[in-house]
């Protein structure tokens, strides 16, 4: 491969979105995601929700995959009853993104999960989630910041070796790790902030939102792998 790698990014399916004179169903993606991919040296492709059986063909055309942030993963996916504070399910998106993750793992396509994407990666590998934690999304609709400390010797620590402050907005977190995953960063309160699969796979999940900041290192690591 030569030139900029093609990085697919999963999108949000939203109903009744208004622009101009129109109000229609739409596949949306916050502009920070493709902007981050471009700034890190890649080409961005939006992946609207589709039938899970199409995921393998989609991933086969990509050099790398990003599973974006978004709504809570439906608790039935990890064998739990919904907490009252867990948001409404997005079953179509869950099914599509789980299929994308499975295809990327099967084909060895470099994979980065962001926030929900990290949580869904953990669930895809048999892990569970804590359905509510306090202090990581204090003001609705406003990203906060907190420090994240890398675990030495991990792929994440290779990309970002020092403790750094990251943009964060979430109320759920990893509980039991999925098969093969190891923690590669923690918050001060002990929350797992990054997970990864050991080499030779290039699979990383981060709990925060790098697309909302200026640090390109996580995305550049994906681009370099792709």
User: Among 170, 171, 168, 150, which Cα is nearest to 217's?
Assistant: 150
Question: Does the active-site annotation cover 209?
Answer: yes
Q: Is 162 exposed, middle or buried (0-12, 13-18, 19+ CB in 10 A)?
A: exposed
Name the catalytic one among 74, 97, 193, 211.
211
Our answer to whether residue 146 is catalytic in this structure is no
Task: Name the active-site residue from 136, 170, 171, 209.
Answer: 209
Which tokens hold the place of 72?
């809570």
Residue 193 neighbours by CB under 8 Å, 6+ apart: 148, 166, 185, 186, 187, 206, 207, 208
- Positive or negative: CA dihedral 98, 192, 115, 32: negative
Given the residues 115, 170, 171, 196, select the one marked as catalytic.
115
CA 131/CA 127 separation, integer angstroms: 13
Which is nearest to 65 in space by CA: 30, 109, 29, 31? 109
Beta-strand relationship, 12-19 and 22-28: antiparallel
Partners of residue 7 on adjacent β-strands? 44, 64
Work out the angle between the directed axes of helices 217-225 and 32-39 (0-180°, nearest 10).
Answer: 70
The yes-or-no answer on residue 115 being catalytic is yes
Residue 72 gets which letter from DSSP? Answer: P
- Is the Cβ–Cβ distance between 92 and 138 less than 8 Å? no
> Mind telling me the catalytic residues?
115, 209, 211
């Amino acid at each position: 491969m030569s030139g900029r790698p093609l990085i697919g990014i999963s999108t949000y399916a939203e109903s009744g979105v208004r622009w101009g004179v129109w109000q229609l169903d739409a596949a949306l993606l916050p502009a920070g995601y493709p902007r981050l991919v471009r700034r890190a040296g890649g080409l961005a492709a939006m992946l609207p929700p589709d039938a899970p059986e199409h995921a393998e063909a989609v991933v086969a055309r990509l050099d790398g995959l990003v599973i974006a942030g978004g709504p809570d993963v439906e608790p039935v996916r990890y064998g739990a009853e919904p907490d009252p504070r867990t948001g409404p399910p997005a079953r179509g998106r869950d099914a599509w993104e789980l299929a994308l993750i499975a295809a990327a793992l099967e084909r060895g396509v470099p994979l980065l999960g962001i926030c929900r994407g990290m949580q869904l990666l953990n669930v895809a590998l048999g892990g569970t989630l804590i359905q509510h934690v306090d202090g990581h999304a204090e003001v609705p609709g406003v990203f906060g910041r907190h420090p994240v400390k890398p675990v030495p010797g991990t792929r994440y620590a290779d990309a970002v070796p020092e403790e750094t402050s990251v943009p964060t907005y979430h109320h759920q977190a990893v509980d039991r790790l999925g098969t093969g995953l190891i923690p590669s960063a923690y918050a001060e309160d002990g929350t797992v902030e990054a997970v990864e699969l050991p080499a030779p796979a290039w699979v990383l999940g981060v709990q925060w939102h790098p697309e909302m900041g200026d640090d390109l290192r996580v995305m550049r690591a994906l681009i370099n792998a792709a």
